[in-house]
Amino acid sequence: MQHWTIEELIDDWTLLPAEQGLLAGSQEANRLGLAVMLKAFQHQGRFPARTRDVPRAAVAFVARQVGVEAAQFERYDWRGRSSSTHRALIREFCGYRAFGEADVAPLVDWLCEHALPREERPDLFRALAVDHLRDARIEPPTNAQLDRHLASAERTFETRLCGLIFSSLDPGQVQALHELLRATVADEDEPEGATDRTSLIHWLRTDSRKPGLESVEEQIAKLRRLRAVGLPEGLFEGVPIGVQKRYRERTGVETPSELRAHPEAIRATQLAAFVQLRLAEVTDSLVDHLIHTVHKIGVRAERRVEKRILAEIRKTSGKDRLFERLLEAALENPEGTVREVLFPIVGEERLRDLLREFRARGSYRQEVHTHLRSSYKQHYRRMIPGLLTALEFRSNNPAHQPVIDALALVGRHLHSRAHNYPAFEEIPVQGVIARSMRDLILDVGEDGEVRLNRVNYEVCVLNALRDALRCREVWVVGADRYRDPDADLPANFEEQKTEYFAALKQPQEATQFVTELRERLRDALVNFHSDLPKNEKVRVTSKDGGRFSVTPLDQQPEPPTLRAMKGELGRQWPGTGLLDMLKEADLDVGFTDLLRSVLTRENLPRAEAQKRLLLCLFGLGTNTGLKRVAGSDAITPDQLRYVRKRYITREGLRAANAQLVNAILAARRPDLWGEGTTACASDSKKFGAWDSNLRTEWSVRYGGRGVMIYWHVERKATCIHSLLKTCSSSEVAAMIEGVLRHCTEMEVERQYVDSHGQSEVGFAFTHLLGFHLLPRLKDIAGQKLYLPDLTLGEQLPLLKPVAAQRAIRWELIEQQYEPMVKYTTALRLGLADPESILRRFTQANAQHPVYAALKELGKVIKTIFLCEYLGNEALRREIHEGLNVVENWNATTDFVFYGKGGEISTNRLEDQEISMLCLHLVQNCLVYVNTLMLQRVLEDETWRERMTAEDWRGLTPLIYQHVNPYGIFRLDMTTRLDLGRSAA
């Protein structure tokens, strides 16, 4: 329930003079009822149906205005004649009319055109309908009537869309789609390793396995089979991606027989959406395989060489002594012959062996290349013909066109038996063969002609292609994450430039932007310099080229009462079951209502579905599995698997989490927790995971194979967003995505991160997006301050040791200001995920002008931050406390996600993400119930009086000493297992 502030009550529930006149002549209960109905109708766009639909604080506020006791509102007759008269009076006063039969068709048409294409959540879908009727000055119908109209709109939308898609397909394409349901993998002569008689549609649904030649061949086979359907270009043009995913999800949960039972138009549309999206996914996975495989070949070659060098180091002790004796003998007998002086120490044959060993060794670089070439030629080279045939590479950047030309050259000679390329071929070298490798790769003959070995060149081409794909300077036709990077940008930017700049709250003129930023930087540096002599915790030294010396924060006093309060929770609610917490949160918030079947019809009664959903969420969120939580109330594992497959989706879980977060924020009492916060902390945690997939990687930072979950947790321990990512992917991108896509009512203005969650590009984008990036920098001592101009350095002598050698290049920021805003707008609108956009701006693409400008802008914002961070101990403590909250969240996941050793035990990428989202939901339920428990305890004045400032500072709902995550164990000594024992 929302806690209304006095300002909110004044804004929304104050009776105006004209409205006061409407109440004249009414009795007390009716006068208060009419006044509350009027303000509620103006605020919500519809009439409340019962007393509890109106906040008590609002009733009390209105009662004081009309001079009536708030208790009189309980006597208001909601179904009497007075209530009907009041509704008619309010409609007339507000200029509304009642919803009629003539309004049904226009409402359905509007929903089909504007609401259903972009929203599938039932609560938001309903809200859009109510808002539309409010804009049209029409009173919404009853909830039951509105539900019927919404269902009618969904059926109409589906009928129209399926008819449109089906009419765009020719009979051959329809037949090819239906063949997906009839054929099996064995019938299609698919590669080895596929299960015999596996249905083709099931095989096409499966995710790719770990990187390797066999996985590449399987993905190529899938791509060919999907392309063989021959869907027309632009089949789903204008159809939102969310609608396409909805149809694809239905295809993913239904068996071939269930799909065949659909009407032809619906069946063809579902299968077409599946093929359309799966084409892009398989193409992306092939590119991922290419990137991983090329990297793996190089890493393995380096590892082999390093292993050999290490073994040689271990064997050098004997050789070193041998060389020492040879040198001593040569120096002692400078006039003697080799045979007389050296051969007695080391035999001639032994010396010849040593000579051959040294000649066989090359440089480290040459040895790595030799091993890499051998591994590629003997095994991985087989994947090149399939990849070049299956994927079409393109580039919009002339600087990377040599890579495209090199791929064409390799393709032309795929089936040649010649070792070298023919002399007539023009071979791209610049941008393909690294300068450090040219002396190893290019072979210049005595005639001056350059000969190039095909295998060596292919290795260089693949490395260049990998680098270009990673920074998206080379893209792939038909891919999604590796698509044309220009497609990520808003196509109408020039036409709506003014609106886009206004949405970011940035000036449209680059000159104004740079001028304001230059002044901010100058002021920050000057203020920091002037306060530095008085700053006892921060010093600037000339040691090691200039460094900061920052005194660690003083330890804060331990809260004296919180330990006792945790004990009080255990006394009042001993051994509270985690499943009970999940249940209580759902009964209060109703988040399982958002977990609807992906199919168009639900046959399971909602009460039974809710019970099974809660068990599924608990089994997945604790990692115990569905089988372990089945059995209660005669619920079987198969029933839980049915609900999991049809009801639990990533989108539904994100919506459920958002609704739960909003409920937590609304349930907090401001007098206990303070006013709503706009600060959030984010960090990642590694989870072990099965590794036969493309997401699981070896973590250099934490060791072991696994995945990372990146959490966004606000100051009072509520997680507003979670993201599953690979161990090597950008934490900066994950941080930005969480701030932009958390979909809760919280507004993030301050974002705490550790060193891995920040970068200069990250500082630039967060500034343009309008929130503050506040990192806890690990290498704070080695940071540098950038000056707006070098002349300012003369006025800041104390900062000279830590000032950068050059000033900010303002002209670069000014020149690229508009493109930077364009990319920022793409992030804000979600035209592509932040990971894809930020991949363009890495060190591998250092020549990109926008990247250079973002780096400069990031240096400005980071310098301003450093001045504030070093000059303000309170800010340093604030960041540290915020990150402690997310670290506490990470620690609690071990308590909640206890099953199977905390390892994500699946290779399906969707199931991995659903496990994460269920953990997120269950842990937020723990926070929700603990919030209510703590508030209940603190209602006692005795406990309130015991609370000190340290206790209020440390108060958190993320505690679990009173929680039982496992369930109840019952031991029945009167029953025995039937083990075939003979009677005693």
For tokens 């009042």, the residue is 572
Instruction: Please tell me which residue, 536 or 3, carries the higher pLDDT value.
Output: 536
Rounded average pLDDT over 852-869:
97
- Is residue 919 classed exposed, middle or buried when 0-12, 13-18 and 19+ CB atoms within 10 A define those classes? buried
**End-to-end Cα, the chain, rounded Å:** 64
pLDDT score at 783 = 94
Return the higher-pLDDT residue of 320 and 690.
690
b/e burial code for range 920-953 (CB count within 10 A of at least 16 → b): bbbbbbbbbbbbbbbbebbeeeebeeebeeebee
CA distance 746 to 723: 18
DSSP states of 278-295: HHHHHHHHHHHHHHHHHH
pLDDT (mean) for 260-286 = 94
Answer whether 118's CB lies under 8 Å from 242's CB: yes
At 367, is the pLDDT very low, low, confident or very high (cuts 50, 70, 90)?
A: confident
**Rounded mean pLDDT of 474-480?**
95
pLDDT over 50 at 439, yes or no: yes
Residue 334 has pLDDT above 90, yes or no: no
Contacts of 211 (CB under 8 A, 6+ apart): 288, 289, 292, 293, 296, 694
Burial of 343 (0-12, 13-18, 19+ CB in 10 A): middle
- Distance separating alpha carbons of residues 878 and 752, to the nearest angstrom: 9
Q: Which of 249-258, 389-398, 450-459 has the lowest mean pLDDT?
A: 450-459
Give the pLDDT score at 962: 95
Look at residue 709 and tell me whether its pLDDT is greater than 60. Answer: yes
| pLDDT-based confidence at residue 32 (cuts at 50, 70, 90) | confident
**What average pLDDT does range 712-731 have in this prediction?**
96
The pLDDT of 385-397, averaged and rounded, is: 93
Q: How many CB atoms lie within 10 A of CB 106?
A: 12
pLDDT score of 314 more than 70: no
Q: Please provide the DSSP assignment of 735-762 as one string.
A: HHHHHHH--SS----EEEEEGGG--HHH
Backbone angles phi, psi at 220, to 5 degrees: -65, -40
Question: What is the distance of C-alpha 959 from the center of its chain?
Answer: 26
Rounded Cα distance, 861 and 767, in Å: 7
For residue 364, the model assigns a pLDDT of 66
Residue 168's pLDDT is what?
Answer: 94
At 965, the pLDDT band (50, 70, 90 cuts) reads very high
Tell me the residue type at 812.
L
Residue 485: pLDDT band with limits 50, 70, 90: very high
Give the pair of three-digit tokens for residue 788: 């707006």
Place of tokens 């015991």: 946
Q: Give the tens place of pLDDT for each residue, 103-136.
A: 999 999 998 888 888 766 777 788 888 888 888 8
The mean per-residue pLDDT over the stretch 505-527 comes to: 96
Q: Give pLDDT, residue 749.
A: 94
Per-residue pLDDT at 416 = 87
What tens digit of pLDDT does each residue of 222-238 get?
999 999 999 999 999 88
Tell me, what amino acid is at 847?
Q
Whether residue 25 has pLDDT greater than 80: no
Residue 725 DSSP one-character state: E
Helix, strand and coil in the chain, % to nearest 5: 60, 10, 30
Token pair in block for residue 489: 């940008």
CA distance 811 to 417: 54
The answer to whether 772 and 751 are in contact (CB under 8 A) is: yes
β-sheet bridge partners, residue 444: 450
pLDDT at 320 > cutoff 70: no
> What is 106-136 written as a DSSP string?
HHHHHIIIIITTT---HHHHHHHHHHHHHHT
pTM of the model: 0.88
Residue whose tokens read 């048409």: 109
Q: Which residue has the higher pLDDT, 453 or 727?
A: 727
Least trusted range by pLDDT, from 79-88, 565-574, 585-594, 749-758: 79-88
Count of CB atoms situated within 10 Å of the CB of 776: 18
∠ CA(656), CA(661), CA(663), 5° rounding? 95
| pLDDT at position 363 | 64
In this prediction, residue 324 has a pLDDT band, given cuts at 50, 70 and 90, of confident
How far is 955 from 560, CA to CA, in rounded Å? 11
Mean pLDDT of 367-385: 84
Of 888, 900, 476, 463, whose CA–CA distance to 711 is shortest? Answer: 888
Q: H helices of 417-453, where?
A: 438-441
In this prediction, residue 448 has a pLDDT band, given cuts at 50, 70 and 90, of low
In the predicted structure, residue 487 carries a pLDDT above the cut 50: yes
Tell me what percent of the residues of the chain surpass a pLDDT of 70.
94
The continuous run of DSSP H or E covering 452 comes out as: strand 450-452
Which residues, listed in sequence order, are joined to residue 549 by a DSSP beta bridge?
539
Q: Does 303 have pLDDT greater than 90?
A: no
Tell me the percentage of the chain whose pLDDT exceeds 90: 58
Read off the pLDDT band of 674 (50, 70, 90).
Answer: confident
Query: How high does pLDDT run on average in the chain?
Result: 89
Q: Which of 252-261, 367-376, 645-654 has the lowest mean pLDDT?
A: 367-376
Average pLDDT over residues 743-750: 92
Q: What is the DSSP letter of 381?
A: G
Categorize the per-residue pLDDT at 443 as very low, low, confident or very high, splitting at 50, 70 and 90: confident
CA atoms within 13 A on the CB side of 172: 5
Q: Which of 358-367, 630-639, 945-954 has the lowest mean pLDDT?
A: 358-367
- Summarised one tens digit per residue, pLDDT across range 887-929 is 999 999 999 999 999 999 999 999 999 999 999 999 999 999 9
Higher pLDDT, 212 or 966: 966
